[in-house]
Chains A and B, each alone.
Chain A
Amino acid sequence: MKSLGSIRRDFAPWNDPSAKPYIQFDKVTKKFGDFTAVSNLSLTIFEREFFALLGASGCGKSTLLRMLAGFEEPTAGRILLDGQDLRGIPPYKRPVNMMFQSYALFPHMTVEKNIAFGLKQEGMPAPDIEKRVAEMLRLVKLEQFAKRKPHQLSGGQRQRVALARSVAKRPKVLLLDEPLGALDKKLREETQFELMDLQQELGLTFVVVTHDQEEAMTMADRIGIMDRGEVMQVATPAEIYEAPTSRFVAHFVGNVNMFEGKVAERAANTTRITGATGAQIVVENATDTTKGADIVFAIRPEKIKVSSRKPADAVNALEGEVYDVAYLGDMTVYHIKLDDGQMVRASALNAARVSEDPLTWNDRAWVSFRPDAGVVLTR
């Protein structure tokens, strides 16, 4: 593996063994009756991190967030925040704030009063509250809407009020439950970057729950992929995409081609795999496998090259027929049916306006990829 860095190059406390964990889930289990929402889960989040919990609905990600906020207590295990065990501390005494999916703006209060609500509970003196509210309104660019009630605002404005209200108290941690779920696509993209800027500016720790992988990939320093109450993998967006550790994660994020097979031969650096349908594949990064083991070789569509002739220097080249072509403007997606029956999805960036090697339905085609282009999965 060469380099799978984070985008904020100087920020990677998870690689630093001396870094102090900020939020710690320690073997946490949460049951609702017979249903186990979160099962024996351990997770560490660092200070100033933008952490995303990604998963399908019902995977337990929201329960995890609600336990951190104090609306639910773990059935077993501990949650530590900055070294303090949170068990038994009610939500109104926890130094975390939450932005709700429905925004939960108080309908009978103006924007100003909504933002001031938390500060009043703290007993902050009135002039200070006024100053902080003005500052928050400026931060979310809603100065001229201070006197409006929530129903007099558009969806995007409501979202910003909810955000301002939840950061007004300067919490140690901000929890965001599907923060962009109710916005339309264009607004969502803009707001993603606003959220990232805000997190940098305030220097807060953000924990966001989302089912939208693009959202998680764009915003988060690290992503925790959840499935059925368990964390499947915690890693940077690049690692999640390029080096998934399980079939579930590989499938969940982005598109992927999977080749079922067995390890046929192990050499010093390379491993030869025999596919279930006969394809021979040579890979470089399968160090923890043994000969004869059942494995899956996973490779992303854009790592596969499609050509009409067999590339001379290719280590891995498989022959087939073009089954489907989808032209998407910026790129073209090919579905190639290999001669052994396996379907392969490959995408090519349309870097040139005119293609030198155009392929169309039913053409013979070769797919090729480098030995380090995919990953070998054992589970």
Chain B
Amino acid sequence: MNGTWSRFNITSIVLGFAFLYLPIVLLIVFSFNESKLVTVWGGFSTKWYVSLFHNQGLMDATWVTARVGVISATVATVLGTLAAITLTRYTRFKGRVLFSGMVFAPLVMPEVITGLSLLLLFVAVGLDRGFFTVTLAHITFTMCFVAVVVQSRLVSFDRSLEEAAMDLGAPPVKTFFQITLPVILPAIISGWMLAFTLSLDDLVVASFTSGPGATTLPMKIYSQVRLGVTPEINAACTILIAVVAIGVIIASIANKRREVQRQRDEQAAQRG
């Protein structure tokens, strides 16, 4: 590219961004609408945000989603990390290919199938559907994402770090908690965040596996929209977008800073 802004370039950029962000911008704008009619602008107001916090149904759903997200992400992170360690470390056990295939299959499995099969299972074993089953279902399908993230870090992990720790007198368990875990922690945290996000916006699997009293936020929003979009929903979505955006921005700034600091340190070290 020669760096000039041709008319064609500008047009395609504008159109591209409009395509991606116009719907979201509209949603945010109309969440501040005075009017009850979603598509007619009636002046600026924050009243829908106030009424949102008085909407017991939405608040309950938010609370359920948060709890399901935290619990399922945490359990999925533990299980996914263990799976990743097994897959990278024990490369020669029988049935490894089958095992890794089974861990990663849910990545490409259509959610409808995951949801339906879990529903059938819960019905078959006579498990009452509710908070417990939806959490279990989320653990199942987010675990493999964690495994992928952690495994990619473990592949580049220098095994001699562990050997050095053992050589200096640390037994294997201590070595894992004092050396391996801190070094791969960033990947584990990313895995957790990914699992949490996936759980947060899952509608399909939750619809199959949830029961009365355990309606998640996406389910609630979806069912309300079917009765007609209210500005309240717009407000709820705007808050969700804000939370996610702030999280992403903080993470990338922290990452960038660490990278810059690291480069500066390394240059300083080279100079001696």
Residues of A within 8 A of B (CB): 69-71, 90-93, 96-98, 100-102, 104, 106-108, 117-118, 121-122, 149, 151-154, 157, 165-166, 169
Residue contact A100 to B163, C-beta cutoff 8 Å: yes
Extra pairs beyond A92-B171, A104-B158 (13, CB < 8 Å):
A71-B163, A90-B171, A91-B167, A97-B168, A98-B163, A104-B160, A106-B165, A106-B183, A121-B168, A121-B170, A153-B269, A165-B168, A166-B167
Residue contact B166 to A154, C-beta cutoff 8 Å: no
Chain B residues, CB < 8 A from A69: 163, 167
Q: 10 A–B contact pairs at CB < 8 A?
A: A90-B171, A92-B166, A100-B164, A101-B160, A149-B265, A151-B262, A151-B266, A152-B269, A157-B269, A169-B168
Interface residues of B in 226-272 (CB under 8 A from A): 262, 265-266, 268-270, 272
Chain A residues, CB < 8 A from B168: 92, 97, 117-118, 121, 165-166, 169
Cβ of B95 within 8 Å of any chain A Cβ, yes or no, is no
- CA–CA, A101 to B167, complex, Å? 14
Residue contact A152 to B268, C-beta cutoff 8 Å: yes
- CA–CA, A181 to B68, complex, Å? 52
- Knowing A151-B269, A154-B269 touch, does A106 contact B167 (C-beta < 8 A)? no
Chain B residues, CB < 8 A from A108: 182-183
Cβ of B174 within 8 Å of any chain A Cβ, yes or no, is yes
What 7 A-B pairs have minimum CB-CB distances, sorted nearest first?
Answer: A118-B168, A121-B169, A104-B164, A104-B160, A152-B265, A91-B166, A108-B182
User: B interface, how many residues as a size bin?
Assistant: 20 to 34
- CA–CA, A78 to B160, complex, Å? 25
- CA–CA, A108 to B158, complex, Å? 13
Give the nearest-CB partner of A96 in chain B.
B167
Residue contact A154 to B270, C-beta cutoff 8 Å: yes
Give the nearest-CB partner of B266 in chain A.
A151
Cβ of B127 within 8 Å of any chain A Cβ, yes or no, is no
Q: Mark B161-196, 1 if CB is under 8 A from A, else 0.
A: 101111111110010000100110000000000000
Q: Which of B164, B179, B272 has the most CB of A within 10 A?
A: B164
Chain A residues, CB < 8 A from B160: 100-102, 104
Chain A residues, CB < 8 A from B270: 154
B188 to A: closest C-beta gap in Å: 13
- CA–CA, A71 to B166, complex, Å? 9
Residue contact B182 to A91, C-beta cutoff 8 Å: no
B182 to A: closest C-beta gap in Å: 5
- CA–CA, A39 to B250, complex, Å? 57
Chain A residues, CB < 8 A from B158: 102, 104
- CA–CA, A122 to B169, complex, Å? 7
- CA–CA, A329 to B163, complex, Å? 46
Chain B residues, CB < 8 A from A153: 269
- CA–CA, A92 to B269, complex, Å? 32
Chain B residues, CB < 8 A from A102: 158, 160
Chain A residues, CB < 8 A from B182: 108
A251 to B: closest C-beta gap in Å: 32
- CA–CA, A122 to B168, complex, Å? 9
Chain B residues, CB < 8 A from A100: 160, 163-164
Contact of B167 among A97, A149, A152 (CB under 8 A): A97
Chain A residues, CB < 8 A from B166: 90-92
- Knowing A102-B160, A104-B161, A106-B179 touch, does A154 contact B272 (C-beta < 8 A)? yes
B184 to A: closest C-beta gap in Å: 10
Chain B residues, CB < 8 A from A90: 166, 171
Give the nearest-CB partner of A94 in chain B.
B167
Contact of A151 among B163, B167, B265, B272 (CB under 8 A): B265
- Knowing A104-B160, A151-B265 touch, does A92 contact B167 (C-beta < 8 A)? yes
- CA–CA, A102 to B174, complex, Å? 22
Give the nearest-CB partner of B169 in chain A.
A121
Q: Mark B68-86, 1 if CB is under 8 A from A, else 0.
A: 0000000000000000000
- Knowing A91-B163, A104-B160 touch, does A169 contact B169 (C-beta < 8 A)? yes
Give the nearest-CB partner of A93 in chain B.
B169
A34 to B: closest C-beta gap in Å: 15
